[in-house]
Amino acid sequence: HPATVTGNNAHQVPKWLQEASRLLHSNQAVALPTETVYGLAANALCPEAVEKIYRLKNRPADNPLIIHVASLAMLRALLPDRRIPTVYKDLIARYWPGPLTLLMPRSALIPDVVTCGQATVAVRFPAHPVARAVIAYTGLPLAAPSANSSGKPSPTLAQHVWDDLRERVPLILDAGQCEWGIESTVVDGLRVSPAILRPGGVTLEQIQKVVGFRDCQVYRKNFTDSRLEQTPTTPGMKYRHYSPNAQVVLLERRTLSDDVHPLTNEQEEADYESSHKEFLQAAQNEMERLALTATPQGLTFGLLSVHPDRSLITTPIVPAHCQLHVRSMTDWSKDPTHSDQPCSRHLFKSFREFDQLGVHYILVEGTSEAHEGLALMNRLRKAATRTVYY
Ligand code: TXA
Ligand code: MG
């Protein structure tokens, strides 16, 4: 832990930090924790180093990377005229360091392989102490996508990075579970009307409260992935992402209004209890339907709830010869005083666990698209092969 950098041994740089720095300065890739997901980092200013990231992840060559910095001075050094666009002043003051990525004008310093020929470069100032320590100590801006194999769910544990990339990455820094468990919000404030290109840790509602972003919209929110497939100007959004091997079936409540967010207050929570029961009933119906199509060996199901474990009051009846594993995406209720914790922390981890358990179908509970529900539903829609309305 970087506490050792600033604690009693302020002059003693820990081994892991020295090793990370040595590797990054010799243009190797290093996996490191951020507050959103684990990243696979390399020197952003060296094309050969950045190319290694694409190769390791098997990432499509037209999907640009985010550059991570540890100070505004470091960002300024990357920009044309060394000026941070004034439109971002308040957003930066409020949400950096944090799970927010901002599109900046690109300077000649940034290699093509980082931006894939875009006129902009995406930049983030992460909050995680390990990520910050590595960037600050190496003094390098780090290009870093999520540290998964392309197409797999993003890694929220060091183990996930190991499972995907093994010894091909020379160093994985392990700092346990990522706080958010979902990637950063990508915002483009350079266009005529500001837009969120990817919903994430910082919510649309929070961004709309900031000067200059009142009219911020989610870019192409209602377009399906197949439409996006034909519009290569929207990098990243055109690929099917976050997919476990199991088929993901999204169970969405027809009447779920965008105004009712399940996790905000007691009354809404009571409403949510009843909608949760409906979800369990819908899941049971779906399991029965799918079981009819199964071989005599039966099927293995995963049930993924947005609500914390304690409210999985009734376990649905599992069809004959079938198996059921239950998981929850969130653990916020374990600390009721801290209700602003992300509700999707265990989403990607659960996908990976279900795959290890040999699950055939993952039945996921949908939620409203208000607040953190927007990023969650964005990831679920991308992962789902089918949506069932109930
Ligand atoms: O939370 C995060 O953002 C994590 C951690 C490691 O920082 N990183 C991450 O990176 O999720 P990645 O590469 O998995 O996703 C980056 C997204 C992609 O959808 C990419 O298309 C978009 O950002 N992006 C990057 N540069 C862009 C640009 N110049 N214009 C538009 N979109 C861009
Ligand atoms: Mg990614």
What ranges do the domains of the chain cover? 3-229, 247-389
Instruction: State the distance from the centre of ligand 1 to the C-alpha of 198, rounded, in angstroms.
Output: 8
Q: Under CATH, which number does the domain 3-229 receive?
A: 3.90.870.10
Q: How far is the CA of 110 from the centre of ligand 2 (A)?
A: 20
Percent of the chain with pLDDT over 70: 83
Most trustworthy range by pLDDT among 117-131, 245-259, 315-329: 117-131
Tell me the pairing of strands 100-105 and 120-124: antiparallel
Which residue of 50, 66, 379, 382 sits with most ligand 1 atoms within 8 Å of its CB, as the best mutation to test the pocket?
Answer: 66
DSSP 166: G
Residue 208 pLDDT exceeds 90: yes
Identify the residue whose C-alpha is closest to ligand 1 atom 10.
145
Residue 32, helix vs strand vs coil = strand
User: What residue has token string 């209890």?
Assistant: 273
Q: Which residues contact 303 (CB under 8 A, 6 or more apart)?
A: 283, 316, 324, 325, 326, 327, 362, 363
Ligand 1 atom with least separation from CA of 198 = 19
Q: How many C-beta atoms lie closer than 10 Å to residue 5's C-beta?
A: 17
Question: Would you say residue 227 has pLDDT above 60?
Answer: no
Atom of ligand 1 nearest to the CA of 101: 3
Q: Which residue minimizes the CA distance to atom 21 of ligand 1? A: 236
Peptide bond into 47 cis (omega under 30): no
Mean pLDDT of 299-317: 78
- Can you tell me which atom of ligand 1 is nearest the CA of 126? 7
Q: DSSP class of residue 152?
A: S
Bridge partners, 66 (sequence order) = 122
Contact indicator for 138, 24 with CB cutoff of 8 Å: yes
Pocket lined around ligand 1, Cβ cut-off 6 Å: 34, 36-37, 39, 63-66, 99, 101, 103, 115, 118, 120-122, 124, 144-146, 183-184, 186, 197-198, 235-236
CATH of domain 247-389: 3.40.50.11030
Whole-number Å distance between alpha carbons of 351 and 333: 21
List the end-to-end C-alpha distance of the chain, in Å, as a whole number. 47
Distance from the alpha carbon of residue 282 to the mean position of ligand 2, in angstroms: 31
Given this model, what pLDDT does residue 294 score? 84
In sequence order, what are the residues at sequence separation of 6 or more whose Cβ sits closer than 8 angstroms to the Cβ of residue 45? 109, 110, 111, 140, 141
Question: Which residue(s) pair with 302 in the sheet?
Answer: 325, 362
Nearest atom in ligand 1 to 114's CA:
26
Question: Does residue 264 have a pLDDT over 80?
Answer: no
Per-residue confidence (pLDDT) for residue 226, from 0 to 100: 47
Pocket test for ligand 1, best of 134, 186, 242, 243 (most atoms within 8 A of CB): 186
Could you tell me the distance, in angstroms and rounded to a whole number, from the CA of residue 91 to the centre of ligand 1?
Answer: 18
Helix locations, 58-127, DSSP H: 72-76, 89-95, 112-115
Lowest mean pLDDT among 137-141, 312-316, 357-361: 312-316
CA–centroid distance, 41 to ligand 2, in Å, is: 12
Sheet holding 100-105, edge to edge: 30-32, 39-43, 142-143, 66-68, 120-124, 100-105, 185-188, 195-198, 217-218
Closest CA to 316 of 353, 291, 293, 347: 291
Tally Cβ neighbours within 10 Å of residue 3. Answer: 11
For the chain, state the CA radius of gyration. Answer: 21
